[in-house]
Amino acid sequence: MENEPLYTLKKYWGYDNFRNSQEAVIKSVLEGNDTLALLPTGGGKSITFQVPAMMRKGICIVVSPLIALMTDQVEALKNREIRALSLAGGLPYPELERLLNNALYGQYKFLYLSPERLQQEVVRNYLKVMPINLIVIDEAHCVSLWGKDFRPAYLQCKWLKEQFPNIPLLALTASATLQVQQDILHQLGIEKANVISTSLARPNIAYKVYKVKSKFHHLLQLLRTTEGTAIIYLRSRNACVQLARLLENHNISATYFHGGIPAEEKNNKLSMWLLNDVRVMVATNAFGMGIDKPDVRWVIHWDIPQTLEDYFQEAGRAGRDGNPAEAIVFYNEVDIKNAEKLLNEYLIDIPYLKIVYSKLNSYFQIAIGEGTENTYSFLFPDFCKRYNLLPLKTYNALQVLDRFSIISFNHHFYNKVTFQMKATPEQLVKYITTHRYIKNITIYLMRCYELIFHFPVELEMAKLMERTEKSHKEIMGYLETLHNDGIGVLKCETADIQIIFNVPRDDDRTINSIGKHIKEYNHSKRLLQNKVYQYLEDENTCRSIFLLEYFGEKNGKPCGICSNCVTQMHSPKTNKQKIEADILQLLSSKPFNCNDLINTLPYSDQQINTVLDELFAMKKITFNIFNELYLK
């Protein structure tokens, strides 16, 4: 029993059965086969390598580009009393060597590292002598230029297979076209690997696309006439905040989520949504990774997605409980123009990249040949203002520098408070006799921070508030008084971005070295965006079939529930004037709520909504105080 996958699954994770193709992937790995596994979002990819790794002596090497996900997985393994560590973030050489020694001699089972870390010679030297039992390449589509998140550093992953030809390699991704699959196998040197995929079909999800004039009107109509939780995806952080507040103003409970808010606030917002204290989560695509809320009834895309891969992954967060759910895109001509504009700002050219890279080095005063491995924090708006840079274009340039491994770029919002005592203990005693109201906090600082007289120490504000029973504002007031009176030095540092320079400063040469890849990458991104336009504009093909064929699944049957299938079930000769007349006739008898109106009339949702839009625009109909439609 102990050498059975189900025994290991039950022992460490408490599950009785595997899901989807998990068992097939594990069987392939345990038989020593290189394997490419395509498992949908929420399909439990981590189980496919964690179970076989726990069944074999030695350590499993996991390469992943997502620092936050690596950290979460390591913490989850530790909570199950499984020894795991990650080489994430900026690590000084002594700390890096200490962790590698722990991995080598500490009987660890998992070592997570980024593809950039894999390029370091010291890391490779340690890996060569480790008892490796499995190699895992997570987010494997990153190795392909035609994947949605190409990262050149992933091309170095092939070294692992060349160095350890007899160790099975497992490449994992949520979805990939046939072209990307072939590229993954080639770039990783595993051309003969088993390819295991689960059908991406989600028969409970109705994929719907509505081209409408008033997106907010249709959103309100949907949320007011139905029940259940929703995610609304937008690209802009500010737009997330504005839409969430707008929904709240219309008595629909909502909150927002994006990469620029503090970690504690993120956790609070997530908890509120998971516990159904708020109904709608308005978010950028920073939200959703690793979050499993099974009862999401709608995933709504307010802005046009950049790729069908992004759209399909995000849409897949709906209906994980198997009950009916909808993935909706609302768009209009303005959105198409905005998407084109954003794409042009997203595709950064070489000259602009050189400017941003140069300004980054100037901002942190990094000399030629220096700057690697240190972590630098800063406020992004301040950086843009100082050098008169366009925020959106500059942000995208930082992402390109991150993608091509010049820097590692993370959102990490924090308010850091440091304090150093300048007065001697004798002077302090004299000071607090005349400033008794500040006595308790001063004594607390002296007792709890022994080195506060020697150099600045970072204060744990939460603990300080708890011990002194004072508010954050009161404590800051006391510290400012000590600072102004010359007793100490107070510094407050706020940051929303952290950067690690992966290569020494070499100005234009650094950017020129990746110039060819950037041009190819920009070309592939435009092709991917055009495929999204094709999906939106196709009013004939079943939307589920369109998506499945994009990912290489053929012979799908019409779903019968997407917006195209529903429209085609009704007569194509339906006259718009006839629909308008029927709506007006119904409303002449009494007010109707939207849901009852749609259920009463023998037309599709899309046909009715299109006519309602026009009637609203002509001011022939409106809502009453009971949220019912009536004639004006």
Q: What is the mean pLDDT of each run of 10 residues along the chain (632 residues)?
A: 82 87 93 91 83 94 83 87 85 85 90 90 93 94 80 88 95 88 93 89 93 88 89 91 93 89 83 92 80 88 93 90 94 92 86 93 90 80 88 87 83 75 85 85 82 83 76 84 90 79 88 86 89 95 94 87 85 72 87 79 78 84 81 83
For tokens 């503090």, name the residue: 262
Regarding beta strands 407-421 and 488-501, do their DSSP bridges make them parallel or antiparallel, or are they unpaired? Answer: antiparallel
Q: What pairs with residue 113 in β-bridges?
A: 63, 87
Regarding beta strands 488-501 and 375-378, do their DSSP bridges make them parallel or antiparallel, or are they unpaired? Answer: antiparallel
pLDDT at 411: 67
What's the pLDDT tens digit per position in 491-542?
A: 887 777 888 888 888 888 889 988 888 888 888 889 999 999 999 999 999 9
- Report the run of H or E that residue 483 belongs to, with start and end: helix 472-484
pLDDT at 452: 86
Euclidean distance between CA atoms 153 and 143, whole angstroms: 8
Euclidean distance between CA atoms 576 and 614, whole angstroms: 11
Count of CA atoms in the C-beta half-sphere (13 A) of 340: 6
Euclidean distance between CA atoms 268 and 285, whole angstroms: 18
> Alpha helices of 149-262 — where are they, by DSSP H?
158-163, 178-188, 215-224, 237-249
Q: What is the pTM of this model?
A: 0.69
Euclidean distance between CA atoms 568 and 578, whole angstroms: 18
Our measurement of the distance from residue 466's CA atom to the centroid of its chain's CA atoms, rounded to an integer in Å, reads 33
pLDDT at 246: 93
The number of residues making up the chain comes to: 632
Euclidean distance between CA atoms 629 and 612, whole angstroms: 10
Residues 363, 377: contact at Cβ < 8 Å?
A: no
Residues 590, 597: contact at Cβ < 8 Å?
A: no
pLDDT at 295: 92
Enter the DSSP assignment of 562: S
pLDDT at 311: 93
